[in-house]
């Protein structure tokens, strides 16, 4: 009893303290620490705060330099002292009991801060945590007189996975050394520790190799990109590479270079065409995709060049692991090449897949003699896996499962959860929309250990990685947009124990992380602030319940119903509401008085065909079904996003449907809408016809409307095909839309089936 009372007293004091303290705002650390206790009271860092290292960390003055660099936006600079004072200290303490070399404990009291670890890496992560206990402005580039007060906390923390990576493709677009350093800073900020640098591609060779100057003289430059007529390129000198590697090292990040082989190698082949099967000539590729010309696997000179390149690479990169690519290597040239066929014969290989395996194993053997190991994309499993290779599973998780079962190490980077070139929000609102859809919450939901693996096999899963392919990211600000805040979600997947991950809790902490991005001037994606307009048909099927939400919690939503642009003077959303007449809903979100989202729009049409019976006479696509037949009279208008679900797609065939109004009804107007998006092979119909009937059997002569939008228009177009019928009485309405059937001659899909996308048939 006595003890309980005492405990109660302590808790009351702690609570009182944390309520009264002016710095007791919510603590938002990402990735979430293993345990965090707020103890009450606070500590303020000032110019007199002494940094003191334990003996074991004496060689790591750069930790103090790093911290001072971060503090340089304030008026505070810390000095390293040899004696630990009794108060006002920042102690980097050695604690050999902390087994995880990246683990640390962090304790702040009114006397000072103690970060303990068994390795300098742990101290570094303790510093990252300190930065996140400070005001977000510590991430600013502008100097200010910041108050460096933190709450008194006890934190025990360590990462779940050893491999916590982010990849950057500099082949498709080149980014400056300063930009690459920024990227490394973002990795460090999220307590991640691997930078996978994709340095060679069909579209450009980006690393200076002294022995082969043509690799960059020729291979680093392409004459244009996808027909834009603009020369593009660049490369990193060896001095710049060293600078970047050092910069990463100071942040305890290993740079893993990727020298891609045998495919994706036109950058090199443009410089040295004799290393191809055909002899070339080649240009550095200007079109994205997978290309058939690859290194000749039968030519000894290929291996000579690659080994010499790797010799220079391993001198520049201390990483134990060298990534050798291995993905997307078509075998067309090898099948027809006498040298490749001779190699297959001589080595007793079964086919070209085994030839690829020969290629990779030979490179692995070479690197093993230099005490380095290879990482390759999951295609290196085909034809037999190199014995010591680590597999990066990207085409799903199956490659990772297979490799782990074979006893090889694995890094999980499936497209489904780790491809940060996929779009994040509504594609209408995205600057670039490639591949699939990967919103923040889906990244957060990722579990890197496949269920199929036993406990022992699972030990081979070393971690996970974000991949940022740059085909459609011409500028570094585009990279920032794709990376953040999704990297925050992945960092927690990498760091936090599986059972402690919680999306709602993450999203609450993310608001502060976003403040940090904001003050740092990073072009992070605000997709999570875009408003989703949820529509649910009411029970009597004559109105809609509308629910507005954002992926990110804490945003304020404002909306209009008359088609005008909303702002924070518009109606503020608090709970779902009902709509029983035609309305155009527009919604935006704000945070701290600042507009955070694009405008989301949904048109609701309550009209005479709404909810009526419809029979569709031609087959529609299962992928784009608009929710089935009812989708065309469901009162919801398709948006300009073809994937958003409002549209019904017809591949190569016409569209024909009959709407039954249930009884003879007086009508004035009939409309149906169509989408054109020629990049996706979706074209306007050639014409649309309407005809009418009282009995559903004998129809009037059709009224025809021709399309007026050129099918060469690259813009996303939505067109209404509307007719006025002036007080006509009818029960059945037939709608027919003529498909152009085949993509036109000039189109990239020439001769392929053209699509019609139709939505809402409205009758007024
Ligand atoms: C890849 O995305 N081709 C590894
Ligand atoms: Zn060949």
Tens digits of residue pLDDT in 47-65:
999 999 999 998 888 899 9
- Gap from CA of 325 to ligand 1 centroid (Å): 8
Q: In this predicted structure, what is the pLDDT of residue 750? A: 81
Q: Is 454 exposed, middle or buried (0-12, 13-18, 19+ CB in 10 A)?
A: exposed
Residue closest by Cα to atom 1 of ligand 1: 327
Model pLDDT, residue 625: 84
Ligand positioned closest to the Cα atom of 302: 2
- Residue 568 has which token pair? 């924070």
Question: How high is the pLDDT of residue 25?
Answer: 74
3-state secondary structure of 558: strand
* Residue 524 to residue 491: CA distance in whole angstroms: 16
Mutate to test the pocket of ligand 1, among 469, 470, 471 (most ligand atoms within 8 A of CB): 469
Q: Which residues line ligand 1 (CB under 6 A)?
A: 327-328, 377, 394
**327 C-alpha vs ligand 1 centroid, how far in Å?**
6
Q: Yes or no: say if 463 and 162 are a contact pair by the CB < 8 Å rule.
A: yes
Q: In what order do the strands lie in the sheet with 544-550?
A: 531-537, 544-550, 577-579
Q: How far is the CA of 427 from the centre of ligand 1 (A)?
A: 22
In degrees and rounded to multiples of 5, residue 510 shows phi and psi of -65, -30
Report d(CA 691, CA 656) in Å as an integer. 11
In the numeric block, which tokens belong to residue 138? 């510590």
Distance CA 162, CA 9 (A): 42
Please give the model's pTM, rounded to 2 decimal places. 0.84
Task: Show the CA angle centred on residue 512, arms to residues 141 and 509, nearest 5°.
Answer: 145
Residue 2, Cβ density class (10 Å: 0-12 exposed, 13-18 middle, ≥19 buried): exposed
Phi, psi of 12 (to 5 degrees): -60, -40
Give the pLDDT score at 22: 39
Structure token digits, residue 368: 């093993």
Whether the Cβ atoms of residue 471 and residue 172 lie closer than 8 Å to each other: yes
List 735's β-bridge partners, or say none: 657, 690
> Quick check: helix, strand or coil at residue 333?
helix
> What was the pLDDT predicted at 4?
40
Q: What are phi and psi of 601, to 5 degrees?
A: -130, 140
Helices (H) and strands (E) in the chain, counts: 18, 36
| Radius of gyration for the chain, computed over Cα atoms and rounded to the nearest angstrom | 31
CB 310 within 8 A of CB 367: yes
Distance from the alpha carbon of residue 332 to the mean position of ligand 2, in angstroms:
10
Please report the sign of the dihedral spanned by the C-alpha atoms of residue 516, residue 522, residue 525, residue 529: positive
**pLDDT tens for residues 357-380?**
999 999 999 999 999 999 999 999
- CB count within 10 Å of CB 578 equals 10
Question: What does each C-alpha distance from 109 to 89, 134, 487 come to in angstroms?
Answer: 10, 15, 31
Question: Which listed ligand is nearest to 376 at the C-alpha?
Answer: 1
Name residues whose C-beta falls within 8 Å of residue 618's C-beta, 6 or more positions apart in sequence. Answer: 650, 653, 654, 655, 656
Between the alpha carbon of residue 580 and those of residues 559, 566, 606, 610, the distances in Å are 17, 21, 7, 11
pLDDT at 23: 47
Share of the chain above pLDDT 90, in %: 79
What are the Cα distances from residue 519, in Å, to 73, 77, 476, 741? 12, 21, 18, 52
- Report CA(279)–ligand 2 centroid distance (Å): 9
Determine phi and psi for 495, rounding to 5 degrees. -100, -45
According to the model, what pLDDT value does residue 427 have?
Answer: 53
Cis peptide before 281 (omega within 30 of 0): yes
**Which mutation among 263, 377, 382, 417 tests ligand 1's pocket best, with the greatest number of atoms within 8 A of CB?**
377
Ligand nearest to the CA of residue 171, numbered in listed order: 1
**Centre of ligand 1 from the C-alpha of residue 112, in Å:** 48
Cis peptide before 603 (omega within 30 of 0): no
Distance from chain centroid for Cα 651: 30
> What does the block give as tokens for 494?
């990498």
- Strand (E) positions, 118-181? 149-157, 163-169
Closest CA to 624 of 594, 587, 601, 649: 649
Q: Is 22 exposed, middle or buried (0-12, 13-18, 19+ CB in 10 A)?
A: exposed
Please report which ligand is nearest the Cα atom of 355.
2
Question: Is the previous residue joined to 31 through a cis bond, with omega within 30 degrees of 0?
Answer: yes
The number of the ligand 1 atom at minimal distance from the alpha carbon of 377 is 4
CB 703 within 8 A of CB 693: no
For residue 680, report the phi and psi dihedrals to the nearest 5 degrees: -105, 15
- In ligand 1, the atom with minimum distance to the C-alpha of 325 is 4
Q: Which residues, given as ranges, of the chain have pLDDT below 50?
A: 1-23, 432-433
Query: What is the C-alpha to C-alpha distance for residues 272 and 277, in angstroms, rounded to an integer?
Result: 12
> Hey, what are 203's tokens?
């579209």
At 2 the pLDDT is 36
Model pLDDT, residue 426 = 58
DSSP secondary-structure letter at 705? E
pLDDT score recorded for residue 247:
97
Burial environment of residue 239 by CB neighbours within 10 A (0 to 12, 13 to 18, 19 or more): exposed
| Ramachandran area for residue 172 (φ above 0: left; ψ -120 to 50: alpha; else beta) | alpha
Query: Taking a C-beta distance cutoff of 8 angstroms, is the pair 386, 403 a contact?
Result: no
- Phi–psi pair at 589, nearest 5 degrees: -125, 150
d(CA 36, CA 156): 7
Rounded CA-CA distance 102/107 in Å is 17
Residue 723: closest CA among 697, 682, 687: 687
DSSP 8-state secondary structure symbol assigned to residue 528: G
């Amino acid at each position: 009893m006595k003890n309980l009372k005492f405990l109660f007293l302590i808790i009351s004091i702690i609570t009182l303290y944390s309520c009264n303290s002016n710095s007791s705002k919510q603590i938002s650390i990402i990735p979430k620490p293993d345990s965090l206790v707020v103890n009450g009271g606070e500590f303020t860092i000032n110019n007199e705060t002494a940094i003191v290292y334990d003996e074991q960390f004496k060689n790591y003055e750069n930790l103090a330099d790093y911290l001072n660099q971060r503090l340089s936006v304030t008026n505070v600079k810390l000095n390293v002292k040899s004696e630990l004072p009794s108060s006002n200290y920042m102690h980097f303490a050695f604690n050999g009991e902390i087994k995880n070399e990246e683990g640390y404990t962090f304790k702040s009291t009114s006397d000072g801060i103690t970060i303990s670890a068994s390795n300098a890496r742990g101290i570094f992560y303790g510093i990252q945590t300190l930065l996140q206990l400070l005001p977000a402005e510590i991430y600013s580039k502008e100097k200010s007189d910041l108050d460096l007060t933190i709450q008194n906390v006890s934190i025990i923390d360590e990462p779940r996975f050893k491999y916590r990576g982010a990849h950057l493709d500099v082949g498709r677009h080149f980014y400056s050394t300063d930009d690459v350093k920024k990227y490394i800073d973002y990795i460090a900020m999220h307590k991640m520790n691997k930078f996978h640098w994709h340095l060679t591609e069909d579209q450009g060779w980006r690393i200076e190799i002294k022995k082969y100057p043509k690799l960059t003289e020729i291979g680093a430059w392409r004459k244009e990109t996808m027909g834009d007529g603009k020369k593009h390129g660049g490369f990193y000198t060896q001095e710049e590479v060293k600078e970047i590697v050092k910069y990463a090292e100071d942040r305890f990040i290993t740079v893993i270079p990727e020298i891609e082989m045998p495919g994706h190698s036109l950058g090199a082949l443009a410089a040295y065409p004799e290393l191809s099967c055909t002899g070339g000539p080649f240009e550095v590729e200007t079109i994205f995709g997978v290309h058939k010309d690859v290194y000749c696997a039968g030519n000894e000179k290929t291996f000579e060049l690659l080994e010499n390149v790797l010799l220079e690479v391993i001198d520049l990169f201390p990483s134990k692991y060298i990534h050798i690519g291995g993905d997307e290597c078509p075998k067309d040239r090898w099948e027809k090449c006498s040298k490749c066929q001779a190699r297959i014969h001589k080595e007793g290989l079964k086919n070209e897949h085994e030839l690829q395996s020969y290629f990779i194993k030979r490179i692995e053997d070479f690197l093993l003699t230099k005490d380095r190991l290879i990482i390759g994309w999951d295609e290196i499993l085909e034809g037999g896996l190199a014995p010591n290779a680590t597999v990066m599973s990207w085409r799903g998780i199956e490659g990772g499962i297979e490799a782990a079962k074979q006893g090889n190490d694995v890094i999980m980077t499936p497209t489904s959860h780790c491809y940060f070139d996929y779009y994040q929000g509504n594609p209408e609102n995205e600057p670039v929309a490639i591949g699939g859809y990967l919103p923040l919450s889906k990244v957060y939901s990722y579990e890197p250990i496949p269920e199929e693996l036993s406990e022992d096999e699972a030990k081979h899963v070393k971690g996970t990685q974000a991949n940022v392919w740059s085909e459609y990211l011409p500028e570094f600000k585009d990279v920032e947009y794709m990376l953040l805040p999704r990297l925050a979600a992945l960092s927690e997947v990498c760091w936090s124990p599986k059972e402690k991950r919680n999306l709602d809790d993450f999203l609450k902490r993310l608001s502060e992380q976003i403040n940090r991005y904001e003050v740092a001037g990073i072009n992070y994606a605000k997709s999570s602030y875009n408003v989703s307009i949820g529509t649910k048909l009411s029970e009597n099927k004559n109105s809609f319940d509308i629910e507005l939400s954002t992926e990110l919690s804490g945003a304020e939503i404002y909306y209009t119903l008359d088609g005008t642009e909303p702002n924070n003077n518009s109606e503020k959303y608090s709970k779902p509401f009902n709509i029983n007449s035609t309305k155009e809903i527009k919604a935006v979100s704000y945070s701290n008085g600042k507009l955070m989202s694009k405008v989301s729009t949904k048109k609701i049409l309550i009209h005479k065909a709404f909810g009526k019976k419809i029979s569709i006479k031609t087959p529609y696509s299962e992928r784009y079904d608009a929710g089935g037949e009812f989708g065309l009279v469901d009162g919801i208008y398709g948006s300009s996003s073809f994937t958003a679900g409002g549209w019904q797609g017809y591949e190569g065939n016409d569209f024909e449907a009959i709407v039954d109004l249930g009884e003879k009804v007086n009508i004035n107007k009939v409309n149906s809408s169509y989408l054109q998006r020629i990049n996706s092979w979706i074209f306007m119909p050639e014409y649309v016809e309407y005809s009418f009937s009282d009995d559903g059997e004998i129809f009037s002569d059709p009224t025809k409307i021709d399309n007026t939008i050129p099918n060469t228009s690259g813009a996303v177009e939505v067109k209404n095909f509307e007719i006025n019928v002036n007080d006509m009485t009818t029960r059945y309405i037939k709608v027919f839309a003529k498909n152009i059937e085949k993509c036109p001659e000039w189109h990239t899909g020439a001769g392929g089936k053209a699509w019609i996308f139709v939505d809402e048939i409205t009758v007024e």
